[in-house]
Structure 1
Amino acid sequence: MKKQIIAAFVSFSVFCLSTAALAAAPIKIGALFSVTGPASFLGEPERNSAKMVVDEINKAGGVKGHQLELITYDTTGDATKAVQLANKLIKDDHVVAIIGPSTSGETMAVIPVVEKAHVPLISCAAALKITEPVKSWVFKTAQNDTLAVDRIYEQLRKEKKTKVAILTVSDAFGSSGREQLKAEAGRYGIQILSDDTYGPKDTDMTAQLTKIRASQAQAVICWGTNPGPAVVARNAKQLGLTIPLYMSHGVSSKKFIDLAGDAAEGIRLPSGKVLVADLLPKSDHQKASLISFKRDYQHHYNADGDHFGGHAWDAVMLLKGAIERGADNPTSIRNQLEATRHFAGIGGVFNYSAKDHAGLTKDAFVLVEVKNKNWTLVK
């Protein structure tokens, strides 16, 4: 009888330990960021922000008793490599969701992988076609380029400028921006007098800008990610181009000002609110999250938290919210992401639905301008 009691006690103890171990199993989240390579200005702050917020969540006890395990790979901005690493995250690492990639081209390449595997992806890239039409397993945190286009065109209409020149980079991000600039022009009474492109590795855009200078354009809109737009800014200054120069949200970080130098002065662009968080009214729903994010990033990395790092912060926090609401596998996480409402993040206030996996409105953007080598809010 005594042996039976001991055996039962041992069995019960093993069961409890096994149950505790099972309950405490970490939840694996994958991340694909362009930490090195041409898009490192995107991927490095994204990687840093994701790691920062996951560490903070884990130090606070995790989510519903689970620690989050972040498995991050550097895609170097290469779409083929991104696909290979997405498969590795799904088949070898058994992640429940993937954050990233950093760029639109990589994201479009990875979408068929996650759709086939039924693993939710929260992209940090901006192209409209990432989530339009809606894909069941694909979400995004970067603001749609259509919203950025609308913000620029609204300002031009306010200033009664109706003739523009557009200069876009010949990659997925630039192509999407060019498409939206042309598609939205009519709604705002905008006439595009010059429509030109440049290559992602081009180091001189003087020819395109000389053509624009000879036109009757009242403003130039450049659509790309660093370093190309900084080259455009410097070339425009060298040519003495005096009409307003607008950039896309693809350069929404201090890195652009560093690259463009004095030529950045006066340039305007649509941006998430993080660049001007301190200038926002207290009533702004995002302000608390923005200030906290900037303070934490400065503490961890001795650098400014930016628009791009915010995409990854939002992605982690959206997953945290899904897990808090009971999700613990790819399907339930997908379902809870789609049910997310009124999440005030860094990129905006997110409201996902079955018909909208981007979740933001034009209110996610403010118009900013470079003054004295810093960002100011255009009112």
Structure 2
Amino acid sequence: MPVLSSAARFAATVISLTAFAAFAAAPARAASDTPIKVGIDLSSTGPAAAIGITSKNAMLMWPATLGGHPAQYTILDDGSDPGAAVRNVRRFVSEDKVDVVVGPNTTPSALAALDAVAETGTPMITLVGTSNVVEPQQGKRIWAFKMAQNDAAMADVVTRYMSNHNVKTIGFIGFSDGYGESWLQQMTKFAELRHIQIVDVERYNRTDASVTGQVLKVMATKPDAILIAGAGTPAVLPQRTLIERGYKGPIYQTHGIATPEFIRLGGKDVEGTLFPTQPVVVARDLPADNPIKKTALDFVTRYEARYGAGSVTQFAGDAAGVYPLLNDAVTRALKTAQPGTPEFRAALRDSLEQTHELVVPNGIVSTSKADHVGLDQRASVMGIIKGGQFHYLSQ
């Protein structure tokens, strides 16, 4: 059975073996008892906890084997701290000798972890949207993959929607870190493509208690719409401040808000929010001919049966997609090497970039040497918050 441990420094939850195994029926074990070791770093506490907790919940549904071999999963909490994330990843690759790292699930932590996995030749599947974790595919980034759709694809779909709804000018309020920077870069590119002008750019920290100054500055430019480039519950603060200050225009957020906690914390202030997302969040509303709907809806049904109605998030969907991606790649890698060896880690990395048309809850994955994400526009849709729920929104 899989084994999970926790980081004492951040008091990560210890999950019992029996409880973990009960979440999913596993295939029969292979003859070899050599486990495939998976080190998982998540932000289960701190500002990104709303993201990390639902990711962990989905991982607790993973089967107990990978490629027919027993799997040993170790989950550590980084407390939403990039420094702690690096320490966790270094423990995984240097002490635990894992075959693959999953996470981190915040952009600053994922970028900071690149050195550790590259130095030891260990593949890493991150859970972030920022493309610069895997692009360009050279140097240390050849060991990094990611499940979440790129910010570029999300900026594409959101600016297309803006253009179709006569938005000519936008104000930007984003995190003052890699996530906010990536979104600013992509919005600048796609806004220019669609003849939309960014009239003001403001930044804030995930832990800030006030953004009044930034909000007043962006409102003074009288934009047609405002985009908040934040993730998780810290994305509520600018929107609430905008509403309190009397802003009446449309408010757009990024795919990083798709958690029930965002709606619970935001309440009436986040009604009508427009945002790009991936299929899991709006699975029930997707058109019948959507090629991902069946897989997405199956996951949503199983997840909500365990964690409650309305509990699913995009991040849970991303985490759920890691398992079929890994299982597919491990099956191929085992043909050339055994777990626990540098040869296996290298073979697994190579196999991860040979995925073809693999349907996962949040998209269809086809990777290559140049593309360590593998998601196309089938993994990008528009959503709206109505009646305290996420709903699909056609272009």
Same-fold call, TM cutoff 0.5:
yes
C-alpha contact 1:100 1:312 (8 A) present in aligned 2: no
Find 1:322's aligned residue among 317, 320, 329: 329
Structure 1 residue ranges without an equivalent (≥5): 1-19
Find 2:190's aligned residue among 179, 184, 191: 184
> Shift of residue 64 of structure 1?
4.3
Alignment of 1:83-232 (within 5 A): 83-134=86-137, 135-232=141-238
Question: Which amino acid counterpart does residue 244 of structure 1 have in structure 2?
Answer: P
C-alpha contact 1:173 1:224 (8 A) present in aligned 2: yes
CA 1:346 to 1:65, structure 2 compared with 1: closer, same or farther past 3 Å? closer
- Rounded Cα–Cα distance in structure 2 between residues aligned with 1:137 and 1:119: 6
Instruction: Find the counterpart in structure 1 of residue 355 from structure 2.
Output: 340
C-alpha contact 2:158 2:275 (8 A) present in aligned 1: yes
Instruction: Find the counterpart in structure 1 of residue 383 from structure 2.
Output: 368
Return 126-135 or 97-106, whichever deviates more. 126-135
More helix by share: 1
C-alpha contact 2:128 2:146 (8 A) present in aligned 1: yes
C-alpha contact 2:381 2:392 (8 A) present in aligned 1: yes
- Rounded Cα–Cα distance in structure 2 between residues aligned with 1:362 and 1:241: 32
CA 1:218 to 1:65, structure 2 compared with 1: closer, same or farther past 3 Å? closer
Instruction: Find the counterpart in structure 2 of residue 351 from structure 1.
Output: 366
Alignment of 1:209-358 (within 5 A): 209-302=215-308, 304-327=311-334, 328=339, 329-358=344-373
**Percent of aligned positions with the same letter in both sequences?**
28
Instruction: Find the counterpart in structure 2 of residue 45 from structure 1.
Output: 54
Does the alignment pair 1:74 with 2:77? yes
C-alpha contact 1:293 1:305 (8 A) present in aligned 2: no
- Rounded Cα–Cα distance in structure 2 between residues aligned with 1:186 and 1:266: 25
- Rounded Cα–Cα distance in structure 2 between residues aligned with 1:199 and 1:88: 28
C-alpha contact 2:129 2:150 (8 A) present in aligned 1: yes
Return 267-276 or 85-94, whichever deviates more. 85-94
- Rounded Cα–Cα distance in structure 2 between residues aligned with 1:237 and 1:177: 22
CA 1:305 to 1:226, structure 2 compared with 1: closer, same or farther past 3 Å? closer
- Rounded Cα–Cα distance in structure 2 between residues aligned with 1:63 and 1:73: 20
Structure 2 residue ranges without an equivalent (≥5): 1-28
- Rounded Cα–Cα distance in structure 1 between residues aligned with 2:282 and 2:232: 20
> Shift of residue 83 of structure 1?
1.2
CA 1:275 to 1:317, structure 2 compared with 1: closer, same or farther past 3 Å? same
Return 87-96 or 201-210, whichever deviates more. 201-210
- Rounded Cα–Cα distance in structure 1 between residues aligned with 2:226 and 2:70: 48
CA 1:69 to 1:240, structure 2 compared with 1: closer, same or farther past 3 Å? same
CA deviation digits over 1:223-252, x for unaligned, max 9? 011333211121111122111100011111
CA deviation digits over 1:238-273, x for unaligned, max 9? 122111100011111222111111011111000111
CA deviation digits over 1:181-225, x for unaligned, max 9? 223321111111111111221222222222222223100001011
RMSD: 1.6
Q: Secondary structure at the match of 2:69?
A: coil
- Rounded Cα–Cα distance in structure 2 between residues aligned with 1:94 and 1:343: 28
C-alpha contact 1:307 1:346 (8 A) present in aligned 2: no
- Rounded Cα–Cα distance in structure 1 between residues aligned with 2:369 and 2:216: 46
- Rounded Cα–Cα distance in structure 2 between residues aligned with 1:63 and 1:209: 48
Q: Secondary structure at the match of 2:41?
A: strand
CA deviation digits over 1:114-134, x for unaligned, max 9? 111111000001112011111
Question: Which amino acid counterpart does residue 26 of structure 1 have in structure 2?
Answer: P
Instruction: Find the counterpart in structure 1 of residue 13 from structure 2.
Output: none
- Rounded Cα–Cα distance in structure 1 between residues aligned with 2:152 and 2:30: 47
Question: Which amino acid counterpart does residue 46 of structure 2 have in structure 1?
Answer: G
C-alpha contact 2:155 2:187 (8 A) present in aligned 1: yes
Q: Secondary structure at the match of 1:369?
A: strand
CA 1:151 to 1:50, structure 2 compared with 1: closer, same or farther past 3 Å? same
Q: Secondary structure at the match of 1:52?
A: coil
Matched length: 354
> Shift of residue 336 of structure 1?
0.9
> Shift of residue 21 of structure 1?
9.0
> Structure 1 runs of 4+ off > 4 angstroms?
none
Question: Which amino acid counterpart does residue 332 of structure 1 have in structure 2?
Answer: A
Q: Secondary structure at the match of 2:374?
A: coil
Give the TM-score, by structure 1 length: 0.89
C-alpha contact 1:203 1:228 (8 A) present in aligned 2: no
Alignment of 1:56-71 (within 5 A): 57-58=63-64, 62-71=65-74
